């Protein structure tokens, strides 16, 4: 955890910012730091309680001094004190350097954090001060009788007391809470092990009570996790999880001693075997679908059936009618320019960047771009942002007073979406899910996927909380562009095309020859799950299917046999280029005849051109991780290069004009444009506020500023000028 706080681990994913800038109730305030103080207090006390249970008996003198556990914590406080010092320095430095000119506000944060920690310490130490006694205070008989029945821990403690007698390293002084450093009493020999044991037994009983209460309280909060006030900061949830693990491991180590390792191994093997049971394998569902009907048959025969030539032709005819409706919006004597928008994945960073770019595009084109847009494609967070913008645009069409370009929507799409996910993971998903959610008359188990959807709904004022079929007519009438969501199917690597209109033509070549075997590249969602109520799939669930962040939001299992499982759309094409070009290829004849050409607007949340890193001689451990690291780092570059090849080949082979306008979130380019780097690219300290945002479902205020202001870079401003220069109409040939 120290490495995280020092921003030496997990910075790319924004993990340190969860601790240094905790958000609570959609704002960073003293309340969030107060809760972090509580979490760190519980984590610190878990550390003290665990070490006391395991090692307290090694220090026999504790049994004959007042308040033995409290005295133990005082003398065991070096590590927690060092940790607190590092955290306080880190978060204060982070707040002053990155977000606040008002030092008093940072001081409020400090007071909030200190208040939370002090509150926890006061409660726990007060309990121990009232209940723990030293050797010279008579024990309650009822406690002693209960303790006599517990043979295993008593035997463990006696063994530890005997071991302490053989220890070579003796404690000579200890820090007393009242009088400072005191010498250790050396006359303990006159006390029998059983007498000393009674003191430690009582302390351990109190520790077990405290630990049990803490764990039960945390789990109990899970029943009320939908209340915003209980959606605690994500870092607090993670800290509480570490505290629970520490307490459980400490308890097991105390009870089992040398049997700990084999018992844990056996328990893991048993759990692994039992994990195949239906109770522990209940699916993470897509809300709105029917999981009680007969599942769709997921085999090669059925995949070929939904790609029957008649079905493909029917879907193409339906889409051509959509294209005709798109053309009918414009003057008949002119050929309109068709626009496609592609947007990349990248969590909330991509959602905000996409929303920001689309608003600026609409302003620059005076509302023409989205009117001319036929389709939006992409992955993950980029599609979430585009879907939100599309819904706002649809509201504007129905009510011209509705300002879909209002900057408040940037705040909505960038509001925290991580706290409820991590909290649900802590109190629900790590154990057996037992709460249900009712949607469209059907009950579904709640999980962190539900938490994601629920929070996204809250952030966006529920304007996208509708079934997939709600967009069928607006898309058909070309009021809004088509927006297929294309998660990857992990079973076989195909794409799943989720759209209110069947798009089977995206899964097979347009010129497939009779008798030639061709593997389908995608599965049409509407046709495949037609008997499982596909059209009533909750639209936000569809967005989640295409934005499944590993370990954060669970993979969705769909009602098929065998069960179909989906992952983030970015795994197959993080930029949406392939889907856009595939659609253009299928309908190239219509596009050539009815349009003045195509403009492809790409919105990237990563840099297209990056400097090549200098290689340094690796260590042995680095050599072990380099292969996997290279794959992860180059995944973006590999997809970019493949898309470049595909686009250039497509452009050269088509008979109609096609151009590409690119927007990219590039902090290094932005810094170079403003002269904030030196000759070798080192960032000037004054540029801290505009460094690259992390890949996460939560953004700091500094990261939001970085994303929003990046539209002002030279390259993005040049792209906006190209938007203004688009000739939206061409003259028809006579």
Structure tokens at 475: 């898309």
Q: How far, in Å, CA of 659 to CA of 45, rounded?
A: 62
Statement: residue 148 has pLDDT above 50: no
Show Cβ contacts of residue 153 under 8 Å, excluding neighbours closer than 6 positions. 201, 204, 254, 255
Statement: residue 451 has pLDDT above 80: yes
Q: What SS3 state is found at 440?
A: coil
Give the chain's length. Answer: 734
Predicted local distance difference test score (pLDDT) of residue 98: 66
Predicted local distance difference test score (pLDDT) of residue 127: 77
pLDDT tier, 145 (very low <50, low <70, confident <90, very high otherwise): very low
| Structure-token match 């328990």, residue found | 267
Predicted local distance difference test score (pLDDT) of residue 162: 53
- Is the dihedral angle over the CA atoms 277, 278, 279, 285 positive or is it negative? positive
Weakest-pLDDT range from 196-210, 212-226, 357-371, 624-638: 196-210
Is 406 in contact with 388 (CB distance < 8 Å)? no
Predicted local distance difference test score (pLDDT) of residue 406: 96
Predicted local distance difference test score (pLDDT) of residue 69: 75
Structure tokens at 76: 């065991």
Residue pLDDT, tens place only, 653-672: 998 999 999 999 987 766 66
Q: How far, in Å, CA of 260 to CA of 110, rounded?
A: 40
435-442 long-range contacts (CB < 8 A, ≥24 apart) are 435/222, 435/223, 437/287, 439/287, 439/288, 439/538, 440/287, 440/288, 440/467, 440/536, 440/538, 442/288, 442/290, 442/291, 442/292
More confident residue, 133 or 464: 464
Of 473, 504, 472, nearest in space to 583 by CA: 504
pLDDT tier, 480 (very low <50, low <70, confident <90, very high otherwise): very high
Structure tokens at 579: 């889907």
Statement: residue 21 has pLDDT above 70: yes
Q: How far, in Å, CA of 107 to CA of 101, rounded?
A: 12
Weakest-pLDDT range from 90-104, 397-411, 543-557, 591-605: 90-104
Show Cβ contacts of residue 524 under 8 Å, excluding neighbours closer than 6 positions. 306, 315, 497, 502, 503, 504, 506, 507
Burial class (CB in 10 A: 0-12, 13-18, 19+), 457: middle
Residue pLDDT, tens place only, 276-316: 777 677 889 999 999 999 999 999 989 988 888 899 999 99
pLDDT tier, 101 (very low <50, low <70, confident <90, very high otherwise): low
Statement: residue 380 has pLDDT above 70: yes
Beta bridge partners of 659: 599
Q: How many CB atoms lie within 10 A of CB 246?
A: 17
Predicted local distance difference test score (pLDDT) of residue 203: 60
Is 65 in contact with 655 (CB distance < 8 Å)? no
Predicted local distance difference test score (pLDDT) of residue 113: 95
Predicted local distance difference test score (pLDDT) of residue 323: 97
Structure tokens at 266: 């056996």
Of 117-126, 137-146, 165-174, 376-385, highest mean pLDDT: 376-385
Predicted local distance difference test score (pLDDT) of residue 698: 87
Structure tokens at 272: 């692994």
Predicted local distance difference test score (pLDDT) of residue 129: 73
Q: What SS3 state is found at 594?
A: helix
Alpha-carbon torsion angle 637, 643, 646, 650, nearest 10 = -140
Predicted local distance difference test score (pLDDT) of residue 478: 96
CA angle 236, 237, 238 (to 5 degrees): 90
Mean pLDDT, range 163-192, rounded to an integer = 62
Determine the angle formed by the axes of helices 193-221 and 103-131, rounding to 10 degrees: 130
| Structure-token match 């084999």, residue found | 262
| Structure-token match 């639209």, residue found | 539
Of 573, 417, 532, 5, nearest in space to 242 by CA: 5
Q: How far, in Å, CA of 534 to CA of 290, rounded?
A: 8
DSSP 12: T
Q: How far, in Å, CA of 516 to CA of 483, rounded?
A: 31
Residue 537 half-sphere exposure, CB side, CA atoms within 13 Å?
27
Predicted local distance difference test score (pLDDT) of residue 147: 41
| Structure-token match 């709460």, residue found | 435
Mean pLDDT, range 68-86, rounded to an integer = 86
Whole-number Cα distances in Å, 511 to 3, 506, 586: 56, 12, 10
Q: What value does the mean pLDDT of the chain take? A: 83
């Amino acid at each position: 955890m120290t490495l995280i706080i020092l921003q030496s681990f997990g910075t790319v994913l924004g993990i340190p910012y969860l601790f240094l800038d905790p958000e609570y109730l959609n704002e960073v305030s003293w309340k969030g730091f107060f809760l972090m103080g509580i979490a760190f207090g519980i984590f610190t006390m878990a550390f003290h309680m665990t070490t006391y249970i395991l090692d307290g008996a090694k220090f026999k003198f504790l049994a004959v001094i007042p308040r033995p556990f409290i005295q133990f914590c005082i003398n065991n406080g070096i590590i927690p004190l060092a940790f607190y010092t590092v955290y306080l320095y880190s978060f204060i430095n982070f707040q002053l350097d990155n977000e606040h000119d008002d030092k008093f506000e940072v001081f409020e944060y400090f007071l909030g954090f200190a208040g939370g920690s002090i509150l926890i310490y006061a409660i726990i130490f007060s309990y121990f001060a009232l209940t723990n006694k030293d050797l010279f205070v008579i024990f309650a008989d009822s406690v002693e009788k209960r303790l006599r029945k517990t043979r295993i821990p008593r035997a463990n403690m006696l063994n530890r007391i005997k071991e302490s007698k053989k220890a070579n390293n003796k404690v000579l002084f200890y820090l007393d809470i009242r009088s400072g450093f005191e010498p250790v009493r050396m006359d303990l020999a006159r006390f029998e092990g059983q007498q000393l044991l009674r003191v430690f037994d009582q302390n351990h009983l109190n520790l077990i009570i405290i630990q049990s209460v803490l764990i039960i309280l945390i789990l109990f909060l899970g029943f009320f996790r939908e209340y915003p006030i209980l959606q605690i900061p994500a870092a607090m949830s993670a800290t509480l999880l570490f505290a629970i693990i520490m307490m459980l491991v400490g308890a097991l180590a105390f009870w089992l001693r040398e049997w700990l390792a084999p018992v844990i191994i056996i328990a893991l093997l048993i759990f692994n075997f039992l994990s195949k049971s239906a109770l522990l394998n209940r699916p993470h569902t897509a809300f709105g679908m029917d999981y009680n009907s007969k599942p769709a048959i997921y085999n090669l025969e059925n995949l070929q059936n939904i790609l029957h030539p008649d079905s493909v032709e029917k879907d193409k005819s339906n889409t051509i009618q959509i294209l005709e409706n798109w053309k009918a919006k414009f003057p008949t004597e002119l050929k309109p320019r068709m626009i496609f928008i592609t947007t990349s994945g990248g969590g909330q960073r991509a959602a905000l960047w996409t929303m920001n770019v689309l608003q600026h595009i609409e302003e620059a084109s005076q509302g023409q771009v989205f009117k001319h847009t036929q389709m939006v494609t992409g992955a993950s967070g980029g599609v979430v942002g585009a879907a939100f913008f599309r819904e706002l645009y649809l509201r504007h069409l129905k009510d011209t007073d509705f300002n879909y370009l209002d900057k408040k929507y940037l705040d909505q799409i960038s509001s925290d979406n991580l706290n409820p996910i991590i909290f649900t993971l802590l109190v629900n998903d790590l154990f057996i899910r037992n709460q249900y959610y009712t949607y469209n008359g059907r009950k579904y188990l709640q999980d962190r996927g539900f938490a994601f959807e629920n929070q996204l709904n809250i952030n966006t004022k529920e304007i996208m909380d509708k079934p997939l079929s709600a967009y069928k007519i607006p898309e058909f009438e070309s009021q809004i562009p088509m927006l297929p969501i294309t998660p990857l199917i992990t079973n076989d690597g195909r794409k799943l095309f989720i759209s209110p209109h069947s798009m089977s033509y995206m899964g097979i070549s347009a010129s497939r020859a009779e008798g030639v075997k061709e593997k389908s590249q995608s599965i049409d969602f509407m046709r495949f799950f037609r008997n499982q109520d596909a059209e009533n799939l909750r639209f936000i669930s569809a967005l989640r299917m295409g934005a499944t962040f590993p370990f954060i939001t669970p993979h969705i299992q769909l009602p098929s046999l065998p069960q179909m499982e989906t992952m983030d759309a970015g795994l197959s094409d993080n930029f949406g280029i392939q889907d856009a070009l595939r659609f253009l290829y299928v309908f190239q004849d219509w596009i050539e005849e009815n349009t003045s050409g195509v403009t492809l607007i790409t919105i990237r949340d990563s840099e297209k051109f990056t400097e090549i890193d200098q290689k340094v001689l690796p260590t042995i451990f680095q050599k072990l991780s380099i292969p996997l690291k290279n794959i992860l780092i180059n995944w973006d570059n590999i997809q970019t290069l493949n898309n470049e090849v595909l686009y250039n080949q497509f452009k050269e082979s088509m008979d109609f004009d096609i151009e590409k306008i690119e927007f990219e979130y590039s902090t290094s380019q932005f810094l170079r444009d403003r002269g904030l780097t030196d000759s070798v690219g080192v960032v000037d300290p004054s540029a801290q506020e505009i460094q690259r945002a992390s890949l996460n479902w939560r953004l700091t205020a500094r990261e939001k500023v970085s994303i929003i202001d990046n539209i002002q870079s030279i390259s993005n401003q040049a792209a906006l000028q190209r938007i203004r220069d688009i000739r939206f109409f061409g003259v028809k040939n006579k």
